[in-house]
Chains A and B, each alone.
Chain A
Amino acid sequence: MEREQLKEAIARLAPGLEFPENAQLTEVLAPTAGFRDLCKALRSDAALQFDYLISMTAVDYPDHIVLVYHLHSSALGHTLVLKQKLTDREKAEADTVSDLWLTAEYQEREVFDLFGVHFNGHQDMRRIFLEDHWVGHPLRKDYVDEINIIER
């Protein structure tokens, strides 16, 4: 599906979607509210069928965290970058999509571990790589570890 068609098809699904220009792939910035419903629609819509979550990660900016979902349709072969912006860095929360794409269960755990984003509705919200008593979330830009991180 061409990029413009894809944008049209997605824009039909939910209001308030932004389509940033000059992106490498088709990109959608979705509002936090109703994000799960949008995901559900993206997955089940016959013209879209985004059934494969390639990767799910987060990017930490000084004043907000962006969750990035790379979606792919195994049947139709188009790719989409779905984003949502979490403005509250201190108590970052998002809705889980782990029941829609099963791999998200572990990718969300990773984001929780390294970025400190809590996913509501996730059944097993534990740290995945680090020990349970670890303090801080290492991939945040303001994370300090004077022993292990050597600045040069």
Chain B
Amino acid sequence: MRFDIYDFTSFTQDIDRLLQENLTPFWATVAELTIVGVVILAFYALVGLFLVYAERKVCAFMQNRLGPNRVGPFGIFQTIADLIKLLMKELIPIKHADKILFNLAPFIVIIASFMAIAAIPFARGLHAIDLNIGVFYVFAVSSMGVIGILLAGWSSNNKYSLIGAMRSGAMVVSYELSVGLSLLSIVIFAGTMQLSGIVESQADGWWIFKGHIPAFIAFLLFITASTAETNRGPFDLAEAESELTAGFHTEYSGIRFAFFFLAEYMNMFIVASIAVTIFLGGWMPLQFGGLEGFNTVMAYIPPLVWFFLKVAFVIYLMMWFKWTFPRLRIDQILTLEWKYLLPLSLINTVLIALVVLLGWHF
């Protein structure tokens, strides 16, 4: 089995071959699915825990605080301690709650984010599934989570939860458009919807650089709209703790609450990964034409490191938004989408189509 840090294709193919040789095709598939599932699950939990810690540290540093510093060195085990606490907490049954929906909602939220991870290419050949309509798939799956939020708000039998859920619904319906259009602009550039294909098309330069100003605008639009889609930052209306106490998850406790919590951070990760894949060249290193030495050094850094560094950057950006800006009001959020983001995305898409037609991009 050859393990290459720069190209995982042969590695994954070797594993596949190994399984196919030793097992019947059916069991080989089952084994592969299991491996992929376990790996992604472990990854999911790890990233979730790390992101919670990172968010707490980032916001603490921005606020002149130290952040968690009690459990372990620099408090790195704080989130694990929190997780254990959440696991041990009582699941409080709510009177007159719609029991089935109430229990189902956190799972829908978490499954939606779980599914989206499958399509993300972490490095060359390192992805669970490389759909030829990857962009479309991710886009479709990631907006499923809002169903969970709506169900949670509705079934909690709590008025604050219901308001939060309705806000979330209204937001997602509108922000889908901008997300879609800004992704579409790069699809126009790359000429493919396959996520790995889009990454490969950025071997000689990331789309955010290659695509002139329109691509940069598309990136900003995407970051803004996707922050809204993940119910974060200045757009966290669905939970708006100063207005609705905790919004849709007011009534949830214990592990069910942990699911919502984890899903929020994973959604952030997914959105950042998509932004990286589409705009920032995925696992591709930073390359500049003409700087041979620089390019070699950059190319020497493994793609996985590149990918996660970029994701960390985008996530940091989103955290920076959240801990700086005041929250928008529901009508302002809709105004922002329908009056600013959507027209801009439309104009931007047309511009990009022109750029592509005239061959102005690199």
Chains A and B directly touch (beta carbon < 8 Å): no
Interface residues of A (CB under 8 A from B): none
Q: Which residues in B have some Cβ–Cβ distance to A below 8 Å?
A: none
